[in-house]
Structure 1
Amino acid sequence: MPPKSHLDRSAIALMVVLCLVWGVQQVTIKLASAGISPVLQAGLRSIGASVLVWAWAMSRGVRLGEADGTLRPGLLAGVLFAFEFALIFWALDFTTASRGVIFLYTAPFFVALGALWLLPNEPMRRAQWAGMGLAFAGIVVLFGENLLLPSGQAWIGDLMMLAAAVLWGATTLTVKSSALARAAPEKMLLYQLGVSALVLPLLALGFGERGIHAPTALVWASLAFQTVVVASASYLAWFWLIRHYPATRLSSFSFLTPVFGVLAGALLLGEPLTPAVFIALALVGAGIWIANRPPAGN
């Protein structure tokens, strides 16, 4: 399948499903954190997903060991991926998830800025910038009141989340601008899962985390969902999309994830559902539509 310059209906539908899955993941992380410390949780997820994706690749005859120029960018993407998640989880010791998400979801802007230099074949139009700005405004509407209520060390966590956003964008750009863009999605993902499977448990030890301290059936089920559905199936689909579609257009859909996360929290955890959620969903939806509509005359 040759690369495309715009998102077709199949890509749009798949991205909405992925954002829904990633939104539900926010709930399962909360549930699993009751029994497994966060960074170790991410490491265990990467270990399990590495095994699953490797088995899937072997069953499909994907050549993982051939020399195709992906080793260096693959290891770089893996390191970026590992430290992104370490920063996200560590930041929650200093700031709230609702504050942090505002800083984390600046990532699409870093992808767009980096694309100006690294992805000349994916030029950003004014409408795309405007659409992403409108979608980000939806996230601010959803969580913005928390910006007015910082705790003493919240700025430390906020900076960590911002750094994680930079790493998220850098990972996407590394994949899209290197030989990884021509590699099988399984190989792209295994670089990141493999490195993070090694790095994250060591970071968990370095952070002095409690580890597995209260395992229950719900905790293990939440970790299994993250491992099988999120880190294996959804990430494979994401890297397949990155290989075939413009990264800047795909990234604009990520603004749906925190909105779906709040909706999932309301449905699964009984968390409050306010009018701001629906305002945010309308703004994000409008922003995505503006960012992805074809230029006039096409």
Structure 2
Amino acid sequence: MASRPMSPVEWGLLIALSLLWGGSFLFNGILVRELPPFTIVTARVALAALALWAIVRLSGHAVPRSREAWFAFFGMGVLNNIIPFSLIVWGQTHIASGLASILNATTPLFAVIVAHVLTEDEKMTGGRLAGVLVGFLGVALMIGPSALGDLGTNVLAQLAVLGGAVSYSIAGIFGRRFRSMGLPPLLPAAGQVTASALLMLPVALLIDRPWALSAPSPEAWAALFGLAFLATALAYVIFFRILATAGATNLMLVTFLIPVSAILLGALVLGEVLAPKHFAGMALIAVGLAAIDGRLLRLVRERRRPLGSDA
């Protein structure tokens, strides 16, 4: 899967996924003012599960009942939700969000390594690794060099965020099994968030004690519904669709696009000003993605080959 360039449809889905997950920063920014983290995470996956199972019922898909399928759902929920959400939330209580974003952008680097070790069809290439490194530099530039000022302090918190990135990359490989099971993207999406909700509920009840919290404002409810239905339910249907056809390494490229989407949405919705570093960072990310895709490099080689042969 990773040996071929992504199709225009797959690139479109990847951009759509980055917009949905980039928008989650706006929703979370509203929610953290009124609700504690584990309550937000639990409500997010629980509401997404309700929405997705309603769609499953309406679409006529049979609910998987095999032990293998539900083992995979819980495994995916742990690797793709519980571990990274918990590690990153904890890490962000000790380090700046900019540094956390840069550390999280290492996900494609880990994905390239994990896929090379654990798969036969997503092996590392020089162009792919170079593209990942250039894309990572673009994210770091766009967020700003000042975010690296705390690098080296709060090492455990930084390792926690890196651990979340590793977990995301392993989840991408783990989720490849849903294709061999013949499950449409809707079912792994619903199963994963259901497993995550069941696992997170006791944590939220024990730590956050949500029954003692003040009632959320209408603005917070709107943000929660956006987070659950758009940035989770719809996003994970797209996530598993890309994973099934383009592979785990290509899917993890969304990590480079999320900061771009978040900054652009901030400019459009909140009126935030775009600085030159944002445009420079986006340009580097574009170069990195082009290198990873490989088509641009092959096109240049094909156009130069006749000239070289004439000489």
The reply to whether TM is greater than 0.5 is: yes
Name which of structure 1's ranges 140-149 and 100-109 shifts more when overlaid on structure 2: 140-149
1:133 maps to a residue whose letter is L
Count of aligned residue pairs for this structure pair: 296
Once residues 190 and 180 of structure 2 are traced to their aligned partners in structure 1, the CA distance between those partners, rounded to angstroms, is 11
Conservation of the 8 A alpha-carbon contact between 2:17 and 2:235: yes
d(CA) in 1 for partners of 2:218, 2:178: 42
Q: Deviations over 1:120-144 (max 9, x none)?
A: 1122321111111110001111233
Could you say which residue in structure 2 is the equivalent of 1:86? 86
TM-score, normalised on structure 2?
0.86
1:236 aligns with 2:237: yes
Paired residues of 1:3 and 1:244 also in contact (CA < 8 A) = no
**Cα distance in 1 between the residues matched to 2:196 and 2:171:** 13
- Partners of 1:39 and 1:90 within 8 A in 2: no
After TM superposition, the structure 1 stretch with the greater mean CA deviation from structure 2, 6-15 or 287-296, is 287-296
Cα distance per residue 1:266-293 (max 9 Å; x no partner): 3333444321111111111111111002
Deviation readout 1:72-116 (Å, 9 max, x if unpaired): 232211112212112222222111111101111111112111111
1:12 aligns with 2:11: yes
Does the 8 A contact of 2:39 with 2:208 survive in 1?
Answer: no
**Which segments of 5 or more consecutive residues in structure 1 lack a partner in the other structure?**
none
Output the amino acid matched with 1:128: R
Q: Are 1:245 and 2:243 an aligned pair? A: no
Aligned to 1:255: 256
Q: Which residue of 1 aligns with 2:221?
A: 220
Offset at 1:212? 4.4
Backbone CA RMSD of aligned residues: 2.5
Alignment of 1:72-111 (within 5 A): 72-80=71-79, 81-111=81-111
Which residue pairs with 1:266 in the alignment?
Answer: 267
Q: Secondary structure at the match of 2:48?
A: helix
- Name 1:204's counterpart in structure 2: 204
| Cα distance between partner residues in 1 of 2:97 and 2:51 | 29
CA-CA distance at 1:165 after TM superposition: 0.5
- Would you say the 8 A contact 1:180–1:188 is kept in 2? no
The 5 Å alignment of 1:62-81 reads 62-67=61-66, 69-80=68-79, 81=81
1:68: how far off? 7.7
Amino acid at match of 1:113: I
Q: Distance between the aligned counterparts of 2:104 and 2:213, measured in 1? A: 27
Give the whole-Å Cα distance in 1 for the aligned partners of 2:273 and 2:206: 36
Which shows bigger deviation, 160-169 or 65-74?
65-74
Q: Which residue of 2 aligns with 1:284?
A: 285
Structure 2 match to 1:33: 32
Q: Distance in 2 between matches of 1:122 and 1:271?
A: 39
Distance 1:165 1:219, change over 3 A: same
Residue equivalent to 1:159: 159
2:133 aligned with 1:148, yes or no?
no
How far apart are the structure 2 equivalents of 1:260 and 1:179?
28
> Which amino acid is the alignment partner of residue 146 of structure 1?
A
Deviations 1:211-249 (A, max 9, x none): 744611111111111111111112101111111122212
TM-superposed deviation, 1:32: 1.4
- Distance (Å, rounded) in 2 between the aligned partners of 1:106 and 1:181: 30
The equivalent of 1:45 in structure 2 is 44
Structure 1 pair 26/3, CA: closer, same or farther in 2 (3 Å)? same
Task: Go from structure 1 to structure 2 and tell me whether the alpha carbon gap of 1:98 and 1:206 turns closer, same or farther (over 3 Å shift).
Answer: farther
1:6–1:246: 8 Å Cα contact kept in structure 2? Answer: no
What do the CA deviations read for 1:132-181 (whole angstroms, capped 9, x no partner)? 111000111123321114596x3332111111111111111100156666
Q: CA deviation at 1:183?
A: 2.0
Structure with higher Rg: it is 2
Partner SS state of residue 255, structure 2: helix
Distance (whole Å) between structure 2 residues aligned to residue 181 and residue 155 of structure 1: 40
Question: Which residue type is aligned with residue 61 of structure 1?
Answer: G
* Residue in 1 that maps onto 2:184: 184
* In structure 1, distance between residues paired with 2:193 and 2:121: 28
